[in-house]
Structure formats: structure tokens, C-alpha cells
């Protein structure tokens, strides 16, 4: 046996355990979801049969799907720019020599390590009508009592705020690392040229942070479609689906109604969205991002 063949056998033997698990729990279920989305849900006396695009037609006519989609887009539009903006602001602040810098950094980072399911309980209390913390503050300023999580108008905002709180400190870490990697000589040169601090940030620091922004953006988009822990605790998708997001709807259809085929079709939509993110990342943004 020649060297090349031995190397190939060795290589694949080393990869085997990891590849087997990935195939079983990532590749296969992704393909199976696609196949199942064209089948009917097997019931006790009716095995699954091919139904073509029926599940997708059902989806097009399903108001809750469109509601979940719209909610998810609003949720993304609310969380992504705000958490990235706050993260950048936090990073610039704790990169300077401000008072209590270490403590401030730690404060920003705490939501990242706290279990979302645990802190969601506390946020639930903040939003509680009548005696919750938010109510007490609003009442102190003479405002009206609001059922933040129980009202169609405010529930989605409430869960969006919690998501921003969870994410901003996490993204800050990446911006902080990137800011510290910018050579100090650039700042010195800009100061000699007489550039204002704002000009230095806008013309030098911000462009150099673009790769980080790209990385953070991709993460933020993926998170916007997967962050549902606090929805379980705070609203369970309610009131009247006002906070149902795509993944939560998949959970409801798959494990609440046991309509696995329809859940598979919804999963395919989610995977398609993620594939789109990947495509934008590798194709379009990558070329427009200025690297050092």
C-alpha cells in the first residue's frame, strides 16, 4: 500500500468519530427536514405519504406563520442595530481610562454568563403590572400603569429589550479586542495632523473595526433567529402570538401539535434564512469589508 492511501485511511479514521456525530445530528436531520416537508405527518393509522408542496401552501395561508415571521423581522430590526451600537459605545468607553473601568467591564459582561432562563424570571418581575420595578418607576413619575407583557402593543418591545441587554455586553468584548489591536501610532499620527477625536473615530477606528462589525453582525443575525429562552419564561409567544418568533413556532408546531411535517417545512424556511446569511457573509460583505 502506498503512502497516500495510508494517509487517507489514517485521516478518515481520525475524523470518523466527529464526522459520524455531525452526520447523525446535523447533516442527516437537515436533509430529513427537507424530505419530510414534502410528506404528510404520520398518524396512528395513516403512514406518511408524499404530498408535494401542500405543507408550503399551508404555510402561505397560515396567519400565525406570517405573524411569527413579521415578529421575528421586527425583533431582528430591534435587537441587531441597537445591541451592536451599544456594544461599540461600551467598548469605546471601557477602552479609555475611565473611573472604575474593570468593574464597568464586568458589569457589561454579566448578562453573557448568566443563564437566560434564570434572569428571564427577574425581568418577568420587572415587567409585572402593579408592583413590578418598571411600574414603580413609571408610577413615581406619575405615568399610567401598563401590562408590559400582557399587551399586544408592548410585549414584543419588552422581549426585544431583554435580548438587547443580553447581547450588547457579549459583542462589546469583540470590539474591545479590536480597538486594542489598533496600533497607537495611528492615533499619534492623526493627532499630529490635527484631526478631532470624532474624525479619528470616523476615519480611522471605525473603518478598522469593520471586520469585527461583520463578525458581530453575523452573530447578531443568527441570534435573532435562535434567542427564545426568555420567551418561554416571559410570554410563551403571547398575548395572541404577539411575541411568537419563528423558532418558537417550530417548537409549538412540532412539540405542541405534533405536526412534524409542517414543523419540517418551517425548519426548512429557517435553514434557508440562515443559508442566506451565510451567502451574504461570504459573497457580498466579505468583498466590501476593509481588512487591515
Partner 1 sequence: MSGAPRPQPAATTRPDPYAPKGLVLTLESTGAILLALIWVLPLAYAVWAAIHPAEYTTRFVLTAPLTLDNFTRAWAAAPFARYFLNTFILVTMILAFQLVLGTLAAYALARQDFWGRDIAFALILAQLMIMPDALIVENYRTLARVNLIDTIPAIALPYIASAFGIFLLRQTFKTVPKELDDAARVEGASPLQVLMKVYVPLAKPTYIAYGLVSVSYHWNNFLWPLLVTNSVESRPLTVGLQVFSSSDQGIDWAVICAATLMTSAPLLVGFLLFQRQFVQSFMRAGIK
Smallest gap from Cβ 57 to partner 1, in A, equals 20
Residue nearer to partner 1 on the CB measure, 29 or 154: 29
- Least Å distance, CB 84 to partner 1, is 14
Nearer to partner 1, 153 or 282 (CB): 282
Stretch in the footprint of partner 1 (CB under 8 A) among 4-12, 52-60, 149-157, 283-291: 4-12
Instruction: Give how many residues touch partner 1 by CB under 8 A.
Output: 100
Interface of this chain with partner 1, residues 59 to 78, rule: CB under 8 A: none
For residue 57, CA distances in Å to 54, 250, 265 come to: 5, 16, 10
Binding test (CB under 8 A) with partner 1, winner from 48, 58, 215, 280:
215
Q: List the one residue from 24, 70, 73, 139 that touches partner 1 (CB under 8 A).
A: 24
- How far apart CA 158 and CA 79 sit, in angstroms, is 11
Q: Do 248 and 39 meet the contact criterion of CB atoms below 8 Å apart?
A: no
Closer to partner 1 at the Cβ: 64 or 222? 222
CB 79 within 8 A of CB 163: yes
Residues in region 260-279 near partner 1 by CB under 8 A: 260, 263-264, 267, 270-271, 274-275, 277-278
Interface of this chain with partner 1, residues 151 to 210, rule: CB under 8 A: 165, 169-170, 173-174, 176-178, 180-181, 184, 187-188, 190-191, 197, 200
Residue 133: C-alpha distances to residues 21, 85, 127 (Å) = 46, 26, 7
Q: Which residue lies nearer to partner 1 by CB, 70 or 276? A: 276
Under rule CB under 8 A, residue 21 binds partner 1: yes
Longest dimension (CA), the chain: 85
> Residues 233, 124: contact at Cβ < 8 Å?
yes
Q: Which of residues 112-131 bind partner 1 (CB under 8 A)?
A: 112-119, 121-123, 125-126, 131
Looking at 9-17, 52-60, 66-74, 143-151, which segment touches partner 1 (CB under 8 A)?
Answer: 9-17
Q: Quick check: 48 and 39 in contact, CB under 8 A?
A: yes
Q: How many residues does the chain have?
A: 292
Residue nearer to partner 1 on the CB measure, 96 or 153: 96
At its nearest, how many Å lie between partner 1 and the CB of residue 182? 9
Give 200's contacts (C-beta < 8 A, 6+ positions apart).
Answer: 187, 190, 191
Q: Which stretch binds partner 1 (CB under 8 A): 44-52, 61-69, 94-102, 147-155?
A: 94-102
- Locate 292 and state its grid cell: 487591515
Q: Which of 51, 138, 210, 222 binds partner 1 (CB under 8 A)?
A: 222
- Residue of 239, 254, 280, 285 that binds partner 1 (CB under 8 A): 254
CB of 162 to partner 1, least distance (A): 9
Q: From CA 226, how far away is CA 246, in angstroms rounded?
A: 8
- Angle between helix axes 63-95 and 210-224 (nearest 10 degrees) is 150
Q: Residue 165: is it exposed, middle or buried by C-beta count within 10 angstroms (0-12/13-18/19+)?
A: middle
Residue selected from 51, 62, 74, 111 as contacting partner 1 according to rule CB under 8 A? 111
**Closest by CA position to 225, among listed 174, 267, 285, 259:** 267
Amino acid at each position: 500500500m502506498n503512502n497516500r492511501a495510508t494517509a487517507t485511511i489514517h485521516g478518515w479514521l481520525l475524523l470518523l468519530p466527529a464526522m459520524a456525530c455531525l452526520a447523525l445530528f446535523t447533516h442527516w436531520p437537515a436533509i430529513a427536514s427537507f424530505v419530510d416537508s414534502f410528506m404528510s405527518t404520520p398518524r396512528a393509522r395513516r403512514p406518511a405519504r408524499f404530498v408535494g408542496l401542500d405543507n408550503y401552501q399551508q404555510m402561505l395561508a397560515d396567519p400565525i406563520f406570517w405573524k411569527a415571521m413579521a415578529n421575528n423581522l421586527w425583533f431582528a430590526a430591534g435587537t441587531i442595530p441597537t445591541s451592536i451600537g451599544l456594544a461599540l459605545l461600551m467598548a469605546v468607553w471601557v477602552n479609555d481610562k475611565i473611573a472604575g473601568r474593570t468593574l464597568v467591564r464586568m458589569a457589561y459582561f454579566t448578562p453573557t454568563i448568566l443563564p437566560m432562563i434564570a434572569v428571564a424570571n427577574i425581568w418577568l418581575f420587572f415587567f409585572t403590572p402593579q408592583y413590578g420595578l418598571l411600574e414603580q418607576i413609571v408610577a413615581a413619575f406619575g405615568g399610567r400603569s401598563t401590562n408590559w407583557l400582557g399587551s399586544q402593543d408592548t410585549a414584543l418591545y419588552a422581549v426585544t429589550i431583554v435580548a438587547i441587554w443580553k447581547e450588547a455586553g457579549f459583542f462589546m468584548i469583540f470590539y474591545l479586542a479590536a480597538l486594542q489591536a489598533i496600533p497607537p501610532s495611528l492615533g499619534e499620527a492623526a493627532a499630529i495632523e490635527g484631526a478631532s477625536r470624532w474624525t479619528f473615530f470616523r476615519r480611522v477606528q471605525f473603518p478598522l473595526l469593520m471586520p469585527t462589525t461583520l463578525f458581530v453582525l453575523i452573530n447578531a443575525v443568527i441570534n435573532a433567529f435562535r434567542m427564545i429562552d426568555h420567551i418561554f419564561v416571559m410570554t410563551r409567544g403571547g398575548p395572541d402570538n404577539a411575541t411568537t418568533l419563528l423558532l418558537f413556532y417550530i417548537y409549538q408546531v412540532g412539540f405542541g401539535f405534533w405536526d412534524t411535517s409542517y414543523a419540517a417545512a418551517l425548519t426548512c424556511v429557517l435553514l434557508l434564512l440562515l443559508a442566506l446569511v451565510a451567502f451574504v457573509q461570504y459573497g457580498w460583505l466579505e468583498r466590501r469589508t476593509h481588512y487591515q
